[in-house]
A and B are shown apart, each in its own frame.
Chain A
Amino acid sequence: MPTAVSSTDLVPERPRRRHPVSNAIRAVADVGHVLRFRAGTVRHRGLSALGSLLLLGVTAAIAIVPAYVEGAGGPDEAFDVLVVLPTALAGFVVLAIVSAAASGGGRELIPRDPASIHPISPTTDHLGALLLAPLNIAWLIQAWALMGATAFAVGSSYVYQAQVVVLLWLVAGTAFAQVLAWTLEGVRRVPHGIVGVRMLNVVVFGVALGLQLTDQMISVFDSLPTRWFVLGMIADDGGRWLASVGVVLAGALVLAVVGAVPAHIAAHRVPRDELRVESGQYASRPSPRSDLAAMVRTDRGSVWRAVPMRRGVAVLAIGPGIVAVLGNLQWGSMTILPGLVASGGALLYGVNAWCLDSRGTLWRESLPVSPRTVFDARALVLAEFLLVASLLTVAVAAIRAGVPSLPEVTALISTLLVVTVQVVGASMRWSFKRPYAVDLRSSRATPAPPSMMVAYSARLALSTTVTGLFFSALSQADDWSLSLLIAVAMLSWSGIRLIRVRRLWDDPAERARVVTTVAVA
């Protein structure tokens, strides 16, 4: 009985390669399959549908209502807004690039491990990342700001035709960001690629700083080709408007297709930073002196050795600081920054803090240590993570801000403390209420499903921005102690809420619910 192919046998025919176009069609169809799978895993469908409708409603309102307010499309304030629209269009693209590059190519439609058993092509992954890009509060706020500003700037006569251009610009800008993000990810994955990308970041920052210091930034913005699109938005000539729409639409389509190329290249390379963390050796240190110190040390390792956290916190800590430096942000307005950074930091893992231990949660829960110590360690490490990022941002932002007054200092310190406790409290509450099984190994991993991430980020952004604005107003008061007094009251309130969650964590049945949920990652 023959057991192998003989040299006299006919060579078996190799499977025929599929045509690139049919591959692309298949990849697009797979996006639909994966999306349906994801939609099937949504826990509260009614609530999600309501949330989506609300989001669309808010977007439509922002895109139209400002066009009908007094002064919209007029020669005064509206004209000033129109003048900065080209810069705003470019700013959106810059933010989209930072967001996509920081997350290693954008969000995953389906997490890496469960996806690995399916024949999902990098093209599907790329298109999925494009679709998920708007489910990010930074993207949404920027898009809303752009739409609102456009509506106000052009007025009711042009609002609908202008918003078509803006919408297409959002798609094209996101697709462009995705192309760059995949390219950078591909570069990161070659030998010395990580160093190369870091150097590129330094160069880009240096150039931006140089332009700002030499007062050339505005002339650079003025020379941006985005002006052509803004003029197209308000063209009375239908042909000119159509030309703008056609160019942006064609650009969006081309960029969406082109993005698949670097996505394939990146997918075929090994993620070096993840590999370095997973194969890295960590020298032993002396035993910790207390149970709390032991738990804190373990949690710190889980946070600072995770690629998404390291990369995310670097972007969060430095990015807003650089923007503040370039925008010459003053001490009185700096109270906005800690809330922004703390919210972003919490979205890296804090909103699902128990997922840090992943499959190790069951073993950790079997250790003889008080649940309160476990809770305290987790909350402390999160607070420390957020504070480090916020302090770094403030330090960078302070470079050009001069010497602050005493009320400005106390307002900023108060904001730092209040938003940290606020965000830690909200994060621990959500982590307890809605745990998710998540593996945070990949730089593209997020601690919760995309729709929940939007909900969490919107709530965090709202509460911390209000706090920041409140202390910004207090920084202008004559009495420096006013901020501190109000901070004590706010800290007490947030502290009480945090203690309430800590008490809930004491319940073994509730703890078991969390532990058994996150342990299956």
Chain B
Amino acid sequence: MNDRPPIVDVRGLHVRFGEVEAVAGVDLVAYAGQSSALLGRNGAGKSTTMRVLAGVVPATAGTVIVAGYDVRHEPLMAKRAVGYCPDVGGLVPRATPWEHLQLTARLRRLRDWEDRARDLLERFELGDVAHRVTAGFSHGMGRRLSVVLAALHEPDVLLLDEPFDGVDPIGVEATLEVVSDARARGACVLVSTHLRELAVEACTTVSVLRGGSRVATMASTEMLGEEGARAYRGLLD
């Protein structure tokens, strides 16, 4: 039991799109300096939960507190505290990486951000394409830039939705480094992914979602190896 207040506190989250209930009663807590993974099959509600935390999709029911702000009532304050890498695309097609960074820096009132931006671009091997429009980027390049954009302002809550999807080993390594850096400075990290092994490597705890609900939360070490794979498989069915 953690005696600190959670940075992310989700209670009874429901999200409905017409007839479809994408999230059906998720409860989730995550703490500063902790990285948590959201695992589950397609349509389990992982990305929708992440979108609610990022303030992109409103909850149909339930309360969502991010960095002390109720996302429903103080969406802008919550957005300031969050860095979000969406699951699909996440990039404006006819803007360059530098223009993306400039926009986020402006809206978040960042000062002297350029050196950190250049450093992140270099770490993710995007320095050479900093001034090229992203429409011509490969899927992996797009994913890497989305992580850079989420991490630029060193947010209190870092939300990475499928950050490893189609990313080469250097990009995976750089993403793991970003997660580790964020934890080290006391940020709360949530990673949604299908890749159990990378989730275990990146995170300290793992929550498994099924059919829009959370079915288990455990230490990531319990998901290790063959036994962990079997346990995970058992939770999916």
Contacts and interface: CB of A to CB of B under 8 A. Distances in A.
A205 B148 CA distance: 49
Interface stretch (A230-238, A274-282, A393-401, A457-465): A274-282
A280 B132 contact: yes
B185 interface: no
Contact of B90 (A287, A360, A369): A360
Interface stretch (B34-42, B77-85, B226-234): B77-85
A367 B79 contact: yes
Contact of B146 (A294, A358, A363, A508): A363
A362 B88 contact: yes
Interface stretch (B48-56, B166-174, B204-212, B214-222): B48-56
A184 to B, nearest CB: 24
B61 interface: no
Contacts of B136: 275, 278-279
B95 A360 contact: yes
B89 interface: yes
A365 B52 CA distance: 11
Contact of B54 (A288, A295, A366, A520): A366
Contacts, number: 134
A298 interface: yes
Contacts of B134: 360
Given A294-B103, A366-B86, A508 B91 contact: no
B108 interface: yes
B82 to A, nearest CB: 7
Interface string A290-325: 010011011001100110000000000000000000
A359 B106 contact: no
A367 B110 CA distance: 13
Interface string B101-138: 01111111000000000000000000000011111100
B93 A282 contact: no
Interface size class of B (residues with CB under 8 A): 35 or more
A77 B118 CA distance: 73
A302 B51 CA distance: 24
B86 A363 contact: yes
A441 B55 CA distance: 28
A282 B133 contact: yes
Nearest to B51: A362
Interface string B160-187: 0000000000000000000000000000
A441 B135 contact: yes
Nearest to B55: A366
Nearest to B80: A368
B26 interface: no
Given A305-B133, A368-B108, A359 B93 contact: yes
A257 to B, nearest CB: 35
B76 interface: yes
Interface stretch (A262-270, A491-499, A509-517): A509-517
Contacts of A369: 76, 107
Contacts of B12: none
A277 B133 contact: yes
B131 A512 contact: no
A512 B79 contact: no
Interface string A468-512: 000000000000000000000000000000000000000011001
Contacts of B92: 298, 301-302, 356-358, 360, 363-364
Contacts of B17: 516
Interface in A349-406: 356-360, 362-370
B154 interface: no
A443 to B, nearest CB: 13
Central interface residue in A287, A441, A520, by most chain B CB within 10 Å: A287
A441 B94 CA distance: 9
A516 B91 contact: no
B89 A358 contact: yes
B68 interface: no
Given A282-B131, A366-B55, A368-B77, 5 more contacts: A284-B102, A287-B105, A301-B99, A512-B56, A519-B86
23 contacts: A277-B135, A281-B132, A284-B102, A288-B102, A294-B107, A298-B92, A302-B94, A306-B94, A359-B89, A360-B92, A360-B134, A362-B90, A363-B89, A363-B100, A364-B92, A366-B56, A366-B79, A367-B79, A368-B80, A441-B135, A509-B58, A512-B56, A516-B57
List of 4 A-B pairs having minimum Cβ-Cβ separation, nearest first: A359-B89, A278-B136, A360-B92, A362-B86
